[in-house]
Structure 1
Amino acid sequence: MTIQKSKPVIIFDVNETLLDMSPLKKSINTLLGNEQGFRIWFGMLLLYSTVSNSINEYHDFGTIAAATLAMAATSMNKKVNEDEIKEALSTILTLQAYPDVEKGLKFLKDHGFRLVTLTNSPPQALKQQLLNSNLTDYFEQALSIDSLKKYKPEAETYLWAAKKLAATPQEMLMIAAHGWDIAGASHAGLSTGFIAREGQSLYTLSNKPNFQANDILAMAQLLVAFYSE
């Protein structure tokens, strides 16, 4: 994709891109009694959110998270109850930002970039996450797919965000630590930037990201340099 040189509206994924999910991983692994529990469950969560898109039967991300956690427990022959599931998942509301995030967001704002979130999490959860991690003031809008009821990486989701921001897809840049999010945004016509968090990888059968860095501060420095040329 040919990238334009005017400053884009930067759209951030939230979980794992900005927020450190280590406490949630520990909580899920403990509940399921398996070191791969989180990875198995999160894969199921993403799968069944896309199933929700396909069958046009929307449930918010928290509801699907609870249902798929119960499914993961069943598949691993682990007995868990609703209260245990609720307690394990509640950790997601108290996640903190990675150390690089605030510095990177401030650097981008200081250089005149518009910053927005776009997440699969429902609005109240997103609001709580941004408050707890002290990130609220960096974003002009905190967008959740809940308004549209279509999960990323559905192309319609990114195009909906473009309309909300009065921008074209070509005027937007999606920053995410997930290969599936990068693939979806690129397919919808956005430029993309991949954050190579530990354990994350790109989907090699889709378009390569326009930018790649190990953290948000490094990405911010890369973007400021590129768009200042």
Structure 2
Amino acid sequence: MNLKNTKPVLLFDVNETLLDMTPLKNAINTLLEEPLAFKIWFGMVLHHSLVDNCTNQYHDFSTIAAAMLKMTATSLNKTITEDETKKTLSVIRNLKAYPDVLKGLQLLKENGFRLATLTNSPENPLKEQLINSNLTDVFELALSIDTIKKYKPDPQTYEWAATKLGQEPQNIIMIAAHGWDLAGAINAGLQTGFVAREGQSLYSLSDNPTFQAKDIYEMALVLIEEYK
């Protein structure tokens, strides 16, 4: 029996953790005619979001995503148009949740957990994503770093989310499929939960997450048992 008086608040990453990025991956790989194009692009997006953090600048995720798609094309000796860039990246607004997500999130809510998001996506695309994936009503708060203008894994983002949720960091579990995100959350004092989506791995130079599961439904079962 867990003797804690209250259940922790659960804070979820969105892209790749809740939403299946396969359609965007296919669109980018097809556009650039390279099976690794998406991986190259996503790595560049993360890299240059941290450049913004380190240089005290801010360009929203959509702006960085478009710039990095052009840079990825250049690195692959391809040329793409503004229309191709816009059309390809628009796919991210219509991603669907993995099959395990809604069932797992609803189960958590039914068992008294508070749920929120914390994503690098801007507020308007985030709202569209949650609507198009039928997840809008699941979350108490849909938090985007667009408000604070500091990208995860900067500790300020997690501290800001804790303030918005009215919680101490240690009473929040950050749940994500990305090792870098969990490393940032651990550094900010949060508990963490790793969702082992295909192709994702933990950051081996960071502390281990508090919880691990293969998907959101399994994570729900783990947390319900831990905090019953």
Distance 1:137 1:73, change over 3 A: same
- Give the 3-state SS of the residue equivalent to 2:80 in structure 1: coil
CA distance in 2 between partners of 1:16 and 1:4 (Å): 33
Post-superposition offset of 1:81:
1.0
Alignment of 1:40-59 (within 5 A): 40-59=40-59
**Residue deviations 1:170-205 (CA, integer Å, cap 9, x gap):** 110000000100100011000000000000000000
- Give the 3-state SS of the residue equivalent to 1:146 in structure 2: coil
What does residue 110 of structure 1 align with? 110
AA paired with 1:43?
A: G
Distance 1:30 1:186, change over 3 A: same
Distance 1:199 1:4, change over 3 A: farther
**Residue deviations 1:127-151 (CA, integer Å, cap 9, x gap):** 0000000000000000000000000
Alignment of 1:16-95 (within 5 A): 16-95=16-95
- Give the 3-state SS of the residue equivalent to 2:204 in structure 1: coil
- Give the 3-state SS of the residue equivalent to 2:146 in structure 1: helix
CA distance in 2 between partners of 1:210 and 1:181 (Å): 14
Post-superposition offset of 1:41:
0.3
Post-superposition offset of 1:32:
1.0
CA distance in 2 between partners of 1:41 and 1:60 (Å): 16
What does residue 166 of structure 2 align with? 166
Distance 1:180 1:64, change over 3 A: same
Unpaired segments ≥5 residues, structure 1: none
What does residue 207 of structure 1 align with? 207
AA paired with 1:207?
A: D
What does residue 156 of structure 1 align with? 156
Give the TM-score normalised by the residue count of structure 2. 0.98
- Give the 3-state SS of the residue equivalent to 1:194 in structure 2: strand
What does residue 193 of structure 1 align with? 193
Alignment of 1:7-22 (within 5 A): 7-22=7-22
Post-superposition offset of 1:4:
8.5
Give the TM-score normalised by the residue count of structure 1. 0.97
CA RMSD of aligned residues (A): 1.0
Greater than 6 Å deviation, 4+ residue runs: none
- Give the 3-state SS of the residue equivalent to 1:147 in structure 2: coil
Identity of aligned residues (%): 64
CA distance in 1 between partners of 2:180 and 2:3 (Å): 23
What does residue 141 of structure 1 align with? 141
